[in-house]
Structure 1
Amino acid sequence: MTDATQIPVDSVSAEALERQGLTYRLVDTSSEDDANAFIRADARGFLDAEPADDVLAVDRAGIAERRNIGVFPADAARGALPVATVNSWVTPLTVPGGEVDMWAISSVTVSGTHRRRGVARALLEGELRAAASAGVPVAGLTASEATIYGRYGFAPAVPVARMTIDTRRAGWAATAPAGRIEYVEKEALKTSLAAVHEVERTQRAGQVAGWDLRWGRMAAVAAGNPSAAKVRGVRYLDEHGKVRGVMVYTLEDVPGAFRSAMNISLLTTVTQDALTALWGFALQHDLVDKVTADLRPIDDPLPWLVTDRRGVEVVVHDHGWLRILDVPAAFGGRTYRAPLDVVLRVEDTLGFADGTWRITVPDGRASVTPSQTETADAALDVSTLSALYVGGVSAAQLRAAGRLDASAEVAASIDDAFRATSAPALGIWY
């Protein structure tokens, strides 16, 4: 897998920022002062509290293997806070039938003192050019705001569901699986989270690999979880004693009621029994009237496991954003559920995916070739192409929205081929 830390900063972005008196450079994470400055600027950009020393220490270790870039005033001393940040790394992205390398982008911030100066554009386009130069076919991110990234060719390709359950109304109708649930201490919780998620992420398109600090902070054994004292964890063991699912949650008092609300931070499972058992634990928990869980697959079976599905509120929202950089590599790296022979005219103002492409699927795998002479069956921009990529967004819906210029029959054939077996999902932020 490509080591992103070995990819130099993008010269086009560096020159654009230099004309504004700004320096665009890699952050030396071996320098405690430089690493701390990057972390503090990131926290400031996301409106977080000033990180304490113990948080800085674990975050320095967390960013050490990433490609961290800061934008600085040209005269800034070493150890000065950058006015903008971004970091990236290459991770496996699960796609139907396998995995492709993805350039993961995170920590995108611009100081309030440097807004509307093209700094964010330089950061994002610089990341895309760096990824393309490294031969990575797809870039991805999770977004705090939904209106920023479409202009760079990203699209919300992996929708997820936020579930809110009124436990007294919903009730419970499912049969208890044969295994058992046990509470787990926090160090073991971290280990179980990492192990189960690493298997689960291969079972659905849209998932990416986790990392040590993600699990440490979620399990509240690494500094920086503001709810650390409230974190609890349970896991499901099947009838053979194998861990098949893990759930992390916190409880909050309902004022004046001697009742509680449960917030599930992560529910990761590798079998249907594990999912049923852990949902059952949550919805039948004593003194809990309300359960919330975000980042759930949109085909989560919970509404079919309860007595009254009207007690389960499901709100679908965007989460995983993808951006195609190399059409043949990206679309040749996944499988398809139906034959397809279609010519797509793709518009990409940054040039990476621009062109006319013939995608031929005779037997589950695609042959993708540039076409200079054939008439296109469909026209779309790279953001729309990216939305379709892992099978979580309907071509027919995009056609109805005016995002895909194609006949109804062509849109339907794309859907038949691209649709994933299970709805794509992404259970973590990155």
Structure 2
Amino acid sequence: MNEPDANAPAGESDRAAFRAGDVDARSRESLARTGLDYRRVAVDGDGYAPWLQSVARGFQDGERSDEQIAAARERSGYRRLTGVFDGAGPAPETPVATIASWIGELTVPGGGVVPSCAISAVTVAPTHRRRGVARAMLEGELRAARDAGVPMAMLTVSESTLYGRYGFGPAAAGASWRIETRRAGWVGPRPDGRIDFISRERVRELLPMLHERVRRRTAGEIDVPGGHWDGFAGTNPTAEKAGDRRAVQYADADGEVRGAAVYTVRENHDDFTKATVEVRYLLAETDAAYAALWRFLLELDLVAEVHAAELSADEPLLWMIADQRAAKVTVRDHQYVRIIDVVAALEARRYGAAGRVVLDVSDPLDLAGGRCLLEVDEAGAGRVRRLADDEEPDAPVVELGIAELSATYLGGVSLATLAAAGRVRVTDASHEGPDGTGPIAAATRLLSWHTTPRLSFWY
């Protein structure tokens, strides 16, 4: 993948080349000096089963059965799998650390997409902690992505404190909701059209099609790997309690399906009028579909609470219920991103105002640091160029780390907020914006975006 168009979808040849690429030589040599072997694991090889068992153990899950291994293998062909092995241990074929990655497409402000290295399944066995294993794997994966020409990396994390040291910043928050249905009261739209129950197999067909029609509308969303849809719909043959999943679709007045939801119901055996609904996944192509599906869920009989997770931090639903205090909303970090190529990443997105700013970026891994000038035209398109050491353009100068630049990238946090938190520094405080505002205000307005980023699932 040489000099990619950051707005172009990643091609299958690029994805295949990344999967087949060797592990990073620098990390391999570092681990070899400690007696560990760092290598890729073939999905169709004998090493897959012990690799998967190590992942399950790392996330405190139970041992996988032969049927579960076969089902997971069938759905893992899109991923690049890597393991760290200890040949001196009693089970040299079982990795003591794991990581998986693939090239996905991250939606950025303005509706474009940028190829991004999605990272998951990061585990290190407790027996091999504090030996530099995680650092070698993560730095190695980032260097592999850079060498493949991928301008971004992204991940969702279990332990939020681990990834800032590698330049990742929390860029799209996720909101968890608990709604008291009797207290909420529906005051939102009551659109025409109809809600109907459908089979899990039918919702498995609908979800990918709907997602492709909507994913470019929201910064932070990504293309969903095929196997994930089986998990959402409950069509994976090894899924536990798949029969508990119920699915509905919304069709508009013209009969076109514009949304779908999957949910489960947990009975309250002390009071059968107070069941709990868990919304597993909801996709809406239109405002009408969004309103119709949420109204259906909140007005289900014998239900006291509706729970949902990975929602936006700015959901319209809050303004569709009569009593906002009926909803208990918890917001936390969810989608992390890491810029690898500053020029390609910044030119892929759109901006909130015209102007220019110098970004002086520090990067602890020496992947994306340096000074560059971002110039945004009246249409919101940005152009970026690297600056020579002696070049001082007439523009605000903002000093920040790559994690802070990555955190602002999707529009989820402003430069002004990071500056107030001491995470960003303006070194040219005399510069004023075109309307007389200070430099941080001008830079904040330029880098802003008008919608809240979101990622609707974990990976």
Q: Shorter chain as normaliser: what TM range?
A: over 0.9
Q: Distance in 1 between matches of 2:269 and 2:165?
A: 44
1:190-269 correspondence runs (5 A): 190-258=204-272, 259-269=274-284
What amino acid sits opposite 1:411 in the alignment? I
CA positional deviation for 1:7: 2.1
CA positional deviation for 1:75: 5.3
CA positional deviation for 1:346: 0.6
CA positional deviation for 1:227: 3.5
Whether 1:6 and 2:17 are equivalent positions in the alignment is: no
Tell me the SS of whatever aligns to 2:47: helix
Q: Among residues 356, 369, 386, which one is paired with 1:370 in the alignment?
A: 386
1:382-421 correspondence runs (5 A): 382-406=402-426, 409-421=438-450
CA positional deviation for 1:289: 0.6
Q: Among residues 176, 201, 205, which one is paired with 2:190 in the alignment?
A: 176
Q: Among residues 282, 297, 314, which one is paired with 1:282 in the alignment?
A: 297
What amino acid sits opposite 1:243 in the alignment? V
Give the superposed CA RMSD.
1.6
Which digits, 9 at most, give the CA deviation of each residue in 1:143-171, with x for residues without a partner? 01110000000010011211110111111
Q: Among residues 66, 80, 97, which one is paired with 2:93 in the alignment?
A: 80
Q: Distance in 2 between matches of 1:120 and 1:275?
A: 41
Tell me the SS of whatever aligns to 2:218: coil
CA positional deviation for 1:214: 0.4
> Is the 1:29–1:60 contact (alpha carbons within 8 Å) kept by the matching residues of 2?
yes
Q: Distance in 2 between matches of 1:39 and 1:70?
A: 10
What amino acid sits opposite 1:123 in the alignment? M
Equivalent residue, structure 2, for 1:132 = 146
CA positional deviation for 1:79: 8.3
Whether 1:50 and 2:70 are equivalent positions in the alignment is: no
What amino acid sits opposite 2:438 in the alignment? E
Whether 1:361 and 2:376 are equivalent positions in the alignment is: yes
Equivalent residue, structure 2, for 1:96 = 109
Equivalent residue, structure 1, for 2:132 = 118
Equivalent residue, structure 2, for 1:26 = 40
CA positional deviation for 1:300: 0.8
Report the more deviating stretch, 75-84 or 252-261. 75-84
What amino acid sits opposite 1:381 in the alignment? G
What amino acid sits opposite 1:322 in the alignment? V
Q: Distance in 2 between matches of 1:369 and 1:307?
A: 50
What amino acid sits opposite 2:253 in the alignment? E
User: Which ranges in structure 1 are unaligned for 5 or more consecutive residues?
Assistant: none
> Is the 1:297–1:425 contact (alpha carbons within 8 Å) kept by the matching residues of 2?
yes
1:256-335 correspondence runs (5 A): 256-258=270-272, 259-335=274-350
Equivalent residue, structure 2, for 1:35 = 48
User: Which ranges in structure 2 are unaligned for 5 or more consecutive residues?
Assistant: 1-9, 430-436
Q: CA 1:77 to 1:256, structure 2 compared with 1: closer, same or farther past 3 Å?
A: closer
> Is the 2:86–2:92 contact (alpha carbons within 8 Å) kept by the matching residues of 1?
no
Q: Distance in 1 between matches of 2:338 and 2:238?
A: 30
Tell me the SS of whatever aligns to 2:143: helix
Which digits, 9 at most, give the CA deviation of each residue in 1:168-224, with x for residues without a partner? 111111231111111110111111111112222111010001122101122111134
Q: Distance in 2 between matches of 1:226 and 1:283?
A: 26
1:147-158 correspondence runs (5 A): 147-158=161-172
What amino acid sits opposite 1:293 in the alignment? A
Which digits, 9 at most, give the CA deviation of each residue in 1:39-92, with x for residues without a partner? 111111011111122211111122222110011013579982110000111011
What amino acid sits opposite 1:429 in the alignment? W
> Is the 1:66–1:89 contact (alpha carbons within 8 Å) kept by the matching residues of 2?
yes
> Is the 2:52–2:69 contact (alpha carbons within 8 Å) kept by the matching residues of 1?
yes
* TM-score when normalising by structure 2: 0.90
> Is the 2:116–2:151 contact (alpha carbons within 8 Å) kept by the matching residues of 1?
yes
Equivalent residue, structure 2, for 1:340 = 355
Tell me the SS of whatever aligns to 1:141: strand
Equivalent residue, structure 1, for 2:400 = 380
Percentage of pairs with the same residue = 42
The number of equivalent residue pairs is: 429
Tell me the SS of whatever aligns to 1:165: strand
Q: Distance in 2 between matches of 1:254 and 1:396?
A: 47
Equivalent residue, structure 1, for 2:3 = none
> Is the 2:189–2:288 contact (alpha carbons within 8 Å) kept by the matching residues of 1?
no
Which segments of structure 1 move beyond 6 Å, counting only runs of 4 or more?
A: 76-79
Tell me the SS of whatever aligns to 1:80: coil
Q: Distance in 2 between matches of 1:153 and 1:143?
A: 14
Equivalent residue, structure 1, for 2:433 = none
Which digits, 9 at most, give the CA deviation of each residue in 1:231-252, with x for residues without a partner? 1111111111111111111111
Q: Distance in 2 between matches of 1:414 and 1:163?
A: 33
Tell me the SS of whatever aligns to 2:424: coil
Q: Distance in 2 between matches of 1:204 and 1:306?
A: 23
> Is the 2:175–2:310 contact (alpha carbons within 8 Å) kept by the matching residues of 1?
yes
1:419-430 correspondence runs (5 A): 419-430=448-459
Q: Distance in 2 between matches of 1:359 and 1:227?
A: 51
> Is the 1:390–1:418 contact (alpha carbons within 8 Å) kept by the matching residues of 2?
no
Q: Distance in 2 between matches of 1:223 and 1:401?
A: 48
What amino acid sits opposite 1:181 in the alignment? I
Q: Distance in 2 between matches of 1:248 and 1:198?
A: 18
What amino acid sits opposite 1:50 in the alignment? E
Q: Distance in 1 between matches of 2:374 and 2:54?
A: 44
